[in-house]
Amino acid sequence: MKPIPTPREYTHSGESRPLTGLREIRMNIPETGETVKLGLAMLRDALPVTPDGAVLTLVSSDDAWFAARNAAEQGYILTHDGGTLTLAARQPMGFFYGLMTLLQLAEDMPETFVIRDRPEIRWRGVMNTLWAESGIMSYDFGDGLPAMEKRLSVLLNTCARYKLNLVYADAFGFRHERFPGYDAFMKRFTDLAKIRGVRVMAGGYGMGYGQSGHGQNVFMGKVFRNRDPYPDGELYDCIGTYDPPNPDIRGRSYGTCLSDNALTDDKIDEMRQYLLATGVNTLDLHNMDSDEIHEPLWLARCERCRKRYPNDSLYAEDGCAGAFAAFYDRLLTGLRESVPDVLICPVSPGYAYAVRSTDRTFEKCRRFWGAVMRYMKCRDGVIPLFRELFHNHDDNRLRYDMLDESIPSGFGSVFFSGGDGFYSDKYFVPSAVVTKTMERAELIVCANGSALQRPTQLMNAEYLWNPDGSAFYNADIPDNYTDFMAFYNAILATTHRPEGLYGELLETACRRLWGDTDGAVLAEVYRIHGARYECPVFTVCSVELYTRRTRVTFPIRWDDPSAEEHLPQMRARYAETVTLNTAARSRLFGVTAPDAEFLREGLAVVSELCQLMVRYIDAYRMAAEWFTAGVPLEGGFRESVRAIVDDAEAYRKRLAESGRTAVDPLGGAIARRDELFDLIAYNAGLILQSVETNMRIPENRRPDVTRQWW
């Protein structure tokens, strides 16, 4: 099997055969450290000491090739010549990655080869979280902290083997000990990550706190407010979220003042406590939720900010950019005292979108962040993050290339890449294939690659390391905005399924993750799709089922007649899911891989949910027609609706008795299970009530709990 990720330069000749053992490992390097020791231990586990085995020599190298991008830090040169293996590198991570490549090659190693390898993207990340960067721990299957922790350690080994070095672990907010045992668990996790060269990222706000409007236990941190004097004085307004065309500036008192050092220091204190307690060393720092930056945001600043930063310009040092630069300098300086390797990744205002941001808006974002980074004193610890951006709409220039001109200190991407819990919940999304449009980024964290998307992790590993030299598949990526978006959207929607991605690469990824037999079956499961490219669904909380975590409580409420128009489309989706889930489940029968049990169970629970949804929608339509057109109800209607209530409640009881309880306050991978079955029972009950009282909207309804951002 070919290695993942594909090495940057790989020439080989002669026959390939398995490397069955090593005779000796010679360490011609001064000192090793834990990372290299771990790599050697992993190699020794796989390859016994045999008298006729190969000799591996580790050497420091001054080869000029190490001047290439990221080569000195993470690159290596690995050569094999008739039983003599040489691994040359400059830094521990280079040696480690060379050893990881050798581990993969050992299965089938050419007689002679030369590999020169380095990553194009310095920090290459996947997300644990199901709800994009907002939270829900995907490895929490509701079977307890030790089991989740074990799965997360498998994730870290996957990262090590396939050269991913960033895990977005948790969100949103910096409250430590957010459940009993959290700090200690995170500390163990980050310790394992550190040895593997993996940064652990957590997300929260630097100001704004919009998500705190979602209610209890969604935002995991303190909501800071502007107060004069801080912390007990009167609330006051300063800058806030400005999201045109909405003319309002929102959240203006939510910790947004950039001139109050006492407020900033209090935020630093919460972050510091979190970092020290958990060992997390990378912060995804949302500052408000403004994807664009425009003058009204800055013109809304308070009197004190006006005095300190009198310039109304977004880009001036004594204006908006200077104020943000000073804020990040203070954050970084404050945190570095306790956590020397801390990396801050600010997101917004002005992270920009591929589609929504016009060229003019993007230019403002680029100019603003260019100015912020220019004014900063400690810019080496800050990497501003943008969304996936691709081409300018009019002149088709690649926006990441443009950012590279404006922000030479480095920038990154939170790549909402499909399967992200916001736009889609497809389980296999090879969208990282477009990384070459973003190759000037220093950091890319894909908003996918969760516990249920492990093959996607390896797609990300392949293309974030080597964006355009894959041995499996290289997309012919259109060089203009319109054609590119058509290509990209087809990849996201999984309607475009190149054989290179869905065939050999998916197959290889699954075999590496689960072994030959189970891997082949899981590759089939991740390929299953419906007539309109629906996928099997493993979690009750899912964009695919209109049951995403954000904004929607129940997709088709009986007391909201506007839902009616969506019924046919939703019924079709639920019915299709039952078919696809049944097919996927039957394929998984007999698969012994540790993930398979939960995947099977997830498919069964979602099937049950979707069957009930189909019955509920049918009842909804009949009752609605009775109310609107006087179409008589069939005999037995009430009994059939009663049965929906009873079946939903009975299944809910069964789920409760199954004993799965998430430690994640947001519910982990079993999020919304109880809630959705309850909502079906409740809404079916409302239909009965309406029919019995002859009132389309029944009285005595529960208050709606629609989640609002603010």
Cα(191)–Cα(76) distance, integer angstroms: 24
**Binds Zn ion by CB under 5 A, chosen from 257, 398, 588, 648:** 257
Cα(204)–Cα(327) distance, integer angstroms: 16
**Cβ at position 180, least distance to Zn ion in Å:** 38
**Cβ at position 348, least distance to Zn ion in Å:** 17
Nearest of 528, 525, 520, 523 to residue 506 by alpha carbon: 523
Which residues between 514 and 533 bind Zn ion (CB under 5 A)?
A: none
Cα(4)–Cα(460) distance, integer angstroms: 10
Residue whose CB is less far from Zn ion, 327 or 484: 327
Examine residue 128 and tell whether it contacts Zn ion (CB under 5 A).
no
Residues with Cβ within 8 Å of 514's Cβ and at least 6 positions away in sequence, in order, are 522, 591, 593, 595
**Cβ at position 710, least distance to Zn ion in Å:** 19
**Cβ at position 303, least distance to Zn ion in Å:** 8
Cα(14)–Cα(617) distance, integer angstroms: 63
Residue position matching structure tokens 């013109």: 299
**Cβ at position 239, least distance to Zn ion in Å:** 7
**Cβ at position 444, least distance to Zn ion in Å:** 33
Q: How far is CA 363 from CA 129, 350, 406, 543, 662, in A?
A: 31, 10, 10, 32, 44
**Cβ at position 669, least distance to Zn ion in Å:** 41
Examine residue 238 and tell whether it contacts Zn ion (CB under 5 A).
yes
**Cβ at position 344, least distance to Zn ion in Å:** 21
Residue whose CB is less far from Zn ion, 186 or 207: 207
Residue whose CB is less far from Zn ion, 264 or 456: 264
Residue whose CB is less far from Zn ion, 298 or 315: 298
Residue whose CB is less far from Zn ion, 259 or 431: 259
The β-bridge partners of 415 are: 446
**Cβ at position 261, least distance to Zn ion in Å:** 11
Nearest of 544, 604, 596 to residue 570 by alpha carbon: 544
Contact region with Zn ion (CB under 5 A), list: 109-117, 238-246, 559-567, 592-600: 238-246
**Binds Zn ion by CB under 5 A, chosen from 259, 392, 494, 542:** 259
Residue whose CB is less far from Zn ion, 129 or 348: 348
Contact region with Zn ion (CB under 5 A), list: 117-125, 256-264, 288-296, 378-386: 256-264
Contact region with Zn ion (CB under 5 A), list: 61-69, 232-240, 312-320, 523-531: 232-240
Residue whose CB is less far from Zn ion, 238 or 491: 238
Cα(41)–Cα(21) distance, integer angstroms: 14
**Cβ at position 43, least distance to Zn ion in Å:** 56
Which residues between 285 and 344 bind Zn ion (CB under 5 A)?
A: 302, 305
**Cβ at position 255, least distance to Zn ion in Å:** 10
DSSP assignment string, 122-187: SEEEEESBSSGGG--BTT--SB-HHHHHHHHHHHHHHHHHHT--EEEEE-SS--SSSSTTHHHHHH
**Cβ at position 259, least distance to Zn ion in Å:** 5
Nearest of 527, 533, 488 to residue 509 by alpha carbon: 527
Examine residue 263 and tell whether it contacts Zn ion (CB under 5 A).
no
Contact region with Zn ion (CB under 5 A), list: 125-133, 212-220, 250-258, 427-435: 250-258
Side-chain-side CA neighbours of 606 within 13 Å: the count stands at: 35
**Cβ at position 324, least distance to Zn ion in Å:** 12
Task: Go through 271-310 and write b for each residue having 16 or more CB atoms within 10 A of its CB, e for each that does not.
Answer: bbbbbebbbbbbbbbbbbbbbbbbeebbebbbebbeebbe
Residue whose CB is less far from Zn ion, 240 or 685: 240
Contact 133, 171 (CB under 8 A): yes
DSSP assignment string, 500-538: IIIIIIHHHHHHHHH-HHHHHHHHHHHH---TTS-----
Q: How far apart are the first and last CA of the chain?
A: 50
Residue whose CB is less far from Zn ion, 182 or 254: 254
Residue whose CB is less far from Zn ion, 331 or 464: 331
Q: What is the DSSP letter of 566?
A: G
Residue whose CB is less far from Zn ion, 88 or 257: 257
Residue whose CB is less far from Zn ion, 288 or 302: 302
Residue whose CB is less far from Zn ion, 290 or 690: 290
Contact region with Zn ion (CB under 5 A), list: 13-21, 133-141, 254-262, 699-707: 254-262
Residues with Cβ within 8 Å of 272's Cβ and at least 6 positions away in sequence, in order, are 334, 335, 338, 339
Cα(446)–Cα(430) distance, integer angstroms: 11
Residue whose CB is less far from Zn ion, 121 or 305: 305
Q: Name the helix (H) or strand (E) containing 335.
A: helix 320-336
**Cβ at position 304, least distance to Zn ion in Å:** 5
**Cβ at position 376, least distance to Zn ion in Å:** 19
| One-letter amino acid of 618 | D
**Cβ at position 236, least distance to Zn ion in Å:** 8
How are beta strands 234-235 and 227-228 bridged, if at all?
A: antiparallel
Residue whose CB is less far from Zn ion, 138 or 259: 259
Contact region with Zn ion (CB under 5 A), list: 27-35, 234-242, 264-272, 408-416: 234-242
Cα(437)–Cα(483) distance, integer angstroms: 13
User: What φ, ψ does residue 294 adopt, rounded to 5°?
Assistant: -140, 160
Cα(702)–Cα(690) distance, integer angstroms: 14
Cα(403)–Cα(583) distance, integer angstroms: 46
DSSP 3-state assignment of 371? Answer: helix
Residue whose CB is less far from Zn ion, 228 or 618: 228
Q: How many residues bind Zn ion (CB under 5 A)?
A: 5
Q: What is the DSSP letter of 197?
A: T
Contact region with Zn ion (CB under 5 A), list: 92-100, 106-114, 191-199, 259-267: 259-267
Q: Which residues bind Zn ion (CB under 5 A)?
A: 238, 257, 259, 302, 305
